[in-house]
Structure 1
Amino acid sequence: MTMSPSYSTTSSSSDTRPTRLFSGEAEYLMELAVGTPPIPFIALADTGSDLTWTQCQPCKLCFAQDTPIYDPTMSSTFSPATCASDTCLGLPVWSTNCSATGATSPCRYSYGHGDGAYSAGLGIGKFSYCLTDFFDTNISSPFLFGSLAKLSATCGAAVQSTPLIQNLERPARYFVSLEGISLGDTLLPIPNGTFDLRADGSGGMFIDSGTTFTILAEPGFGVVVEHVAGVLGQPATAVNGSSLCIRPCFPAPAGARKLPEMPDMVFHFAGGADMRLRRENYMSFDEEVLAFCLNIVGTKPTWISVLGNFQEQNIQMLYDITVGQLSFVATDCSML
């Protein structure tokens, strides 16, 4: 399932019933259906992509899947999109055959992950989700669309809000302005502008529920690692044996499995919105290397930073596209 920002007051046709997400293989998955009669398929809930993908017949080089592959010839509601359709017009001109054919011609296109092109996505004004424990595959996470999308059961916690920023070079991404990071009561000495979105579309930070660990541009990442190491009293080592990715890790004392006491990490966003991450939202014990690992990775100074799903655990997230705003609040998502 992919969702892209259009920043309009488009009404929603998805105001039906709550959807549930399930944790699996470092991602959060959901069951959707396509066609009439409906054919179910499993999709990755990914706010960092702009199209909904599934295999369909005729299919070349198909991979195995548990559900039937969608056959459009067996669906009573399928019809080919023409070059004049909104669906086709939402694709980049270079990706279709329409410049050389008429408006009534079938829309034939080539489109790949990472194109970063504009798409109307689900055409929804709002959506919200609350990701449950990353390591618990037995608990589902609520995902709400349209008029159902809201922040509920906040238990008195203060709701935080920050603007969603449009990046004209990457309009299918939900960008936010990260202004600083604290560890406990200490505001980390990250140079001003490290996470700023630049005029050429580089830099900045977007939210990606399909990315596992948060990615921070240097030198911000290095400062975070240095201060986490200071709390733990030992230098970080890059671990190559981890099943998830290369992360800064800290060897655990013999027999230790429980995370050590760690202060909250706080991401400071524009508008005074503070996202407070408990130790479970940025650290974990890695059984393969017997180490406590920081579940944040680094990237080049000019590259984009990403807020990943591990850091979003037990935080309700509400995207209001109609006003261009992200709101969030700490919550026990298993209770929703």
Structure 2
Amino acid sequence: MAQSHHLSAICPFLFYSALFLSCVYGARELAEINPLLPPASPCFTSAKGQFQGLQIVNKYEPCSSPLSLEKSRPNQEVLLQDQFRARLLDSLEVVDEYGEGIQLPLTSRGDGNFLVTVGVGTPKRDFTLLFDTGSDATWIQCEPCSAGCNHQIPIFYPSSSSSFSNAICNITCDYSMNYHDGTYSSGYYVVDTLTIQSDLHPNFIFGCAQKIHGDFGGAVGLLGVGPGNLSLVAQTDTGYFRVFCYCLPASENSAGYLSFGVQAFENCQPDENKLIPISLGLNQNAYSYFVTLTGITIGQQRLDISGNVSSPLKAIIDSGTSISRLPFSLYSALRQAFRRLMSQYPTASPSQNFDTCYNLEGQNNWTPPKMVLHFEGVDLDLDPSAVTFREKDNNAQVCLAFMANENDSDLTIIGNQQHREMNVFFDISNQKLAFTSGGCSNW
């Protein structure tokens, strides 16, 4: 299944270790940060303000305004983009963690679903970026842009920032990403001040994209919070301690949050008994956050990882993929159990790569079967909305919200459909992850 993937040399940075010395913040200052964006009336409940951090909105929904071009995106196109994303993760080529071929995963055809706004430069200008745990480096479209930039949205002008400088590199500061579907982004690495709310991060390294091809959904670029050395998490570790958390909104009229450091602890308050070990780095050509999936319970039936599925089963936590992908043998067992539990309801035609769908017209009180994901030492009770996928244009039709990989060797992915309305907490230094209930509707 692997496709060709080319990445030009991305250099080791001479000043990389010194970068963190200029980003020191006190705990009191972190605790007093105010949200970057003002409340937008359709996106907040009456309890807004309980959580602190950057606002996360779904780029396909009304809360993403003024990116209105995404509001009417049909499910079929969204899921097609999701399929590109899953294939992309299986075809990435990764080499040296310090730069010679380091992964810069971009979203294929703009399939990253969630947006945040940060400031770049001096004076600060706000840019709306795709938020992605499966990507390391951040990139923003820049002028002069020779091909593919969207001039209907803000573009970064290096000459307008007094804190801008070119990156210092051993070989070259150019980057180039090319995908099997024709999507690409290329340019060069630069250094400038990144602003997260009122928090300044000087000497932040990011890609200045001058050639772009593909649909990135009205976003100016991508904010990478993956585990690599060029990610936002790594470049702000002195101030944020390599800790962050987020909650992805499930409702089209709600917003979530992304917060770092002390704010992340305050928002998520992880239970020590609920921490899941994570591993960072390479597995099947991807560089991401990995957890061990030991089983799935559907209704009263537990499906353990066995048979043709390698055990332990490593899965990536990926905010940029919507629908979770499972090895075919595990998915087949899940599908069979789900169908038994749904046997009293009429089936519907397969829809958009979902092969297990039902017509629930008139079943206003129906709730999906209970589902639990079993990780290493921790059980995660899924929210009912995470078990099934409901059609936008046909609310009576629901489908099992999981898909099968084409090969058992393909990456197992825990997509954002399965962790929406959850507080997802990452402690990278201690290699721990936590899912906590409560959701982000109170943002």
Tell me the TM-score normalized by structure 1. Answer: 0.76
The code of the aligned residue for 2:279 comes to I
Q: Match for 2:57 among 7, 18, 22? A: 22
1:33-112 to 2 correspondence within 5 Å?
33-64=119-150, 66-84=152-170
Question: Aligned-pair distance for 1:141?
Answer: 0.9
SS of the aligned residue for 1:223 comes to helix
Q: Identify the residue that residue 174 of structure 1 maps to in structure 2.
A: 289
Mapped to 2, the partners of 1:248 and 1:171 lie a distance apart of: 27
1:285-296 to 2 correspondence within 5 Å?
285-288=390-393, 290-296=396-402
The code of the aligned residue for 1:22 comes to V
Q: Does 1:146 align with 2:261?
A: yes
SS of the aligned residue for 2:257 comes to strand
Mapped to 2, the partners of 1:78 and 1:302 lie a distance apart of: 44
The code of the aligned residue for 1:79 comes to S
Question: Aligned-pair distance for 1:135?
Answer: 3.2
The code of the aligned residue for 1:126 comes to V
Ranked by relative contact order (alpha carbons within 8 Å, sequence separation 6 or more), the top structure is 1
The code of the aligned residue for 1:213 comes to I
Q: Match for 1:276 among 381, 384, 387? A: 381
Mapped to 2, the partners of 1:214 and 1:11 lie a distance apart of: 39
Do 1:317 and 1:328's aligned partners in 2 also have CA atoms closer than 8 Å? yes
SS of the aligned residue for 1:204 comes to strand
CA RMSD of the aligned region, Å? 3.8
Mapped to 1, the partners of 2:229 and 2:211 lie a distance apart of: 12
Mapped to 2, the partners of 1:108 and 1:130 lie a distance apart of: 28
Question: Aligned-pair distance for 1:120?
Answer: 3.1
Question: Aligned-pair distance for 1:150?
Answer: 1.5
Mapped to 2, the partners of 1:83 and 1:288 lie a distance apart of: 51
1:109-258 to 2 correspondence within 5 Å?
118-122=228-232, 123=234, 124=237, 125-132=242-249, 134-136=250-252, 138-150=253-265, 152=267, 160-169=274-283, 172-188=287-303, 190-191=305-306, 194=309, 196=311, 204-233=314-343, 239-240=350-351, 245-256=352-363, 258=364
Deviations 1:156-192 (A, max 9, x none): 9896211111343557300001111111332125425
Q: Match for 1:262 among 368, 377, 389? A: 368
SS of the aligned residue for 2:340 comes to helix
User: Unmatched 5+ residue regions in structure 1?
Assistant: 1-9, 98-106, 198-202
Identity of aligned residues (%): 27
Deviations 1:277-302 (A, max 9, x none): 13211213324455211121110201
Q: Identify the residue that residue 329 of structure 1 maps to in structure 2.
A: 436
Closer, same or farther: CA 193–12 of 1 in aligned 2, 3 Å: farther
Aligned residues: 300
Do 2:147 and 2:211's aligned partners in 1 also have CA atoms closer than 8 Å? no
1:297-312 to 2 correspondence within 5 Å?
297-299=403-405, 300-312=407-419
Mapped to 1, the partners of 2:145 and 2:117 lie a distance apart of: 21
Closer, same or farther: CA 43–109 of 1 in aligned 2, 3 Å: closer
Q: Identify the residue that residue 3 of structure 1 maps to in structure 2.
A: none
The code of the aligned residue for 2:261 comes to G
Per residue, is there more helix in 1 or in 2? Answer: 2
Mapped to 1, the partners of 2:426 and 2:346 lie a distance apart of: 38
Do 1:239 and 1:249's aligned partners in 2 also have CA atoms closer than 8 Å? yes
Closer, same or farther: CA 151–37 of 1 in aligned 2, 3 Å: closer
Closer, same or farther: CA 141–30 of 1 in aligned 2, 3 Å: same
Do 1:117 and 1:171's aligned partners in 2 also have CA atoms closer than 8 Å? no
User: Unmatched 5+ residue regions in structure 2?
Assistant: 1-19, 34-52, 61-77, 79-112, 177-185, 189-206, 213-221
Question: Aligned-pair distance for 1:205?
Answer: 0.7
Do 1:140 and 1:334's aligned partners in 2 also have CA atoms closer than 8 Å? yes
